Amino acid sequence: MPRFSSANLLFWAVSLAAGLPLPAAQAAGLRVATFSADVTPPVGQPLVSGDLLKRVEDPLLAKGIVIEDGPARYVLCAVDWCELCNSSHALFRRKIAEAAGTCVSRVAVAALHQHTAPVADGDAEKLLTAAPKPPAVLGAKTVEALADRLAAAVRRSTACLEPFDQVGVGEAKVDRVASSRRVKGAHGKIRVRWSTCKEADLRAMPEGLIDPLLKTVTLARSGKPLVRLHYYATHPQTPYGDGRASADVPGWARQRRERKEGVFQVYFDGCGGDITLGKYNDGTPSAREGLARRLEAGMQAAAAATRFAPAAHVGWRVVPVAFAPRNDPGYTEADGRARLLNPAADYGTRTYRGAMVVAFRHREGVPFELTALAIGPARILHLPGEAFIDFQLYAQRVAPRAFVAVAAYGDCATGYICTQKAFAEGGYEPTDSMVAPQSESVLRSAIRKLLADER
């Protein structure tokens, strides 16, 4: 159950960046604004698999909220892109911060990780562009123009800040959407249940370790919802790689809910690193429609289960984290560089196993900023990378009496953030992770710091 005590609120207020509690007169003035921008790249730009965008099935949106508490503003933003990494993630944060009139540390930006969408990593793109016979990369000018469009929407929203006085929290079990990608086969060998799974025997295996609950945080004024923020953990993609841009299952569910309820809706992807739709997605259009319908039903049920509490303050905590790069064979800088420079290698090898490996190693000294928002009974964590579901469940265990909602897929330069056990077991994710196995304890320690007052 959520815990809501004055001692907690004081602690969170004190952890504002300035390190000072808000004066009581200002603390009463909570306001919120919503923004939405179309951030679909132009036709011809590459999507995650290197396929060039040919057709916009439905637009990719960047949606979020600006929360104002006295003199301080905070921004939460969820983008219908596969990933934002390194300097591209920093660019989005900086432009949003400038537009909202706040500092970068008070801006959380996360991707939803659809695969009918682009990956932006300005550093990897620079390396690729300088390599022989480079593959198509998302142009720096394109990314900047889309970030500017988003910033303009954020700026406009600040003229429409409206008061709120309640925070609602609700959760509901989602029916047949998420399932573990890591299925134990014969002799404990890990089999991969991809997001689109054509193998009936793999689809028949149990869901495995997931977080079955979708969590919804509602900001309201006198019982009237102004915005709903939804949190659920899974890779969200159905078939991709055919030049189509789409917000896919989570975007469909979110926009339908918004149209039906008439309340602004934002969806954040939780720690879905080792979770897919595979058990329930054979790749057919009817499977896709069923997934969107059931995810939307989860949003509706969580909203219906909402219980409101008064909101008077916002707490915000920032924990900078450094993740060590891997040094095992195949993952050194020399290995990454060799792949990046090889014109005969395929798009994924050059980009994800090559340029991004090198780019991650070059960011040494630039920490990942993990943040937590405390408002009413809700504690919302913003984590980087493709974190395993274990981390989301761990955050809930760390603060068992709080309502802990988790957004992952912040700066995705880490690739997968696996558990140490997963490296020993094998499977797909550890082959696609940029960070060393000890990252599990690094991330757990950061989560404990983000929730320090709740333990």
Residue 61 · residue 80 · CB < 8 Å: yes
Minimum distance from residue 398 beta carbon to Zn ion (Å): 25
Q: Which two tokens stand for residue 421?
A: 């056990």
Smallest separation (angstroms) from Zn ion to the CB of 311: 34
Nearer to Zn ion, 386 or 454 (CB): 386
End-to-end CA distance of the chain: 13
Q: In sequence order, what are the residues at sequence separation of 6 or more whose Cβ sits closer than 8 angstroms to the Cβ of residue 250? A: 112, 114, 232, 236, 267, 269, 295
In the complex, the smallest distance separating the C-beta of residue 386 from Zn ion, rounded to whole angstroms, is 5
User: Least distance to Zn ion from the beta carbon of 428, Å?
Assistant: 10
396 versus 414: smaller Cβ distance to Zn ion: 414
**Of the listed pieces 63-71, 276-284, 378-386, 420-428, which binds Zn ion according to CB under 5 A?**
378-386
Question: What is the smallest separation between the CB atom of 79 and Zn ion, expressed in angstroms?
Answer: 15
Question: Which CB, 268 or 316, lies closer to Zn ion?
Answer: 268
* Residue placing its CB nearer to Zn ion in the complex, 138 or 303: 138
Nearer to Zn ion, 13 or 417 (CB): 417
Stretch in the footprint of Zn ion (CB under 5 A) among 19-27, 39-47, 131-139, 381-389: 381-389
> 305: exposed, middle or buried (C-beta count within 10 Å: 0-12, 13-18, 19+)?
middle
Binding positions for Zn ion, 383-402, rule CB under 5 A = 386
Nearer to Zn ion by Cβ, of 74 and 388: the residue is 388
By beta-carbon proximity to Zn ion, the closer residue of 386 and 411 is 386
Instruction: From 99-107, 164-172, 207-215, 380-388, give the range in contact with Zn ion by CB under 5 A.
Output: 380-388
What minimum distance in Å lies between the beta carbon of 416 and Zn ion? 7
Count the residues of the shown chain that bind Zn ion, applying the rule CB under 5 A: 1
What mask, x for binding Zn ion by CB under 5 A, covers residues 335 to 374? ----------------------------------------
Nearest distance from residue 325's CB to Zn ion, in Å?
A: 19
- Least distance between Zn ion and beta carbon 271 (Å): 11
Closest contact distance (angstroms) between CB of 340 and Zn ion is 20
Nearer to Zn ion by Cβ, of 171 and 386: the residue is: 386
Residue 107 near residue 151, CB atoms below 8 Å: no
Q: Say how far apart CA 50 and CA 276 lie, in whole Å.
A: 21
- Give the residue from 360, 373, 364 showing the smallest Cα distance to 413: 360
Cβ distance to Zn ion smaller for residue 121 or 386? 386
The rounded distance, in Å, linking the Cα atoms of 91 and 227 is: 26
Q: Measured from the CB atom, is 220 or 406 closer to Zn ion?
A: 406
Residue range at the interface with Zn ion (CB under 5 A); choices 41-49, 52-60, 191-199, 379-387: 379-387
Residue nearest Zn ion, CB atom distance = 386
Closest distance of CB 263 from Zn ion, Å: 30
Q: How far is the CB of 222 from Zn ion (least distance, A)?
A: 41
Question: In the complex with Zn ion, which residue's Cβ is closer, 386 or 453?
Answer: 386
Residue numbers of the site for Zn ion (CB under 5 A)?
A: 386
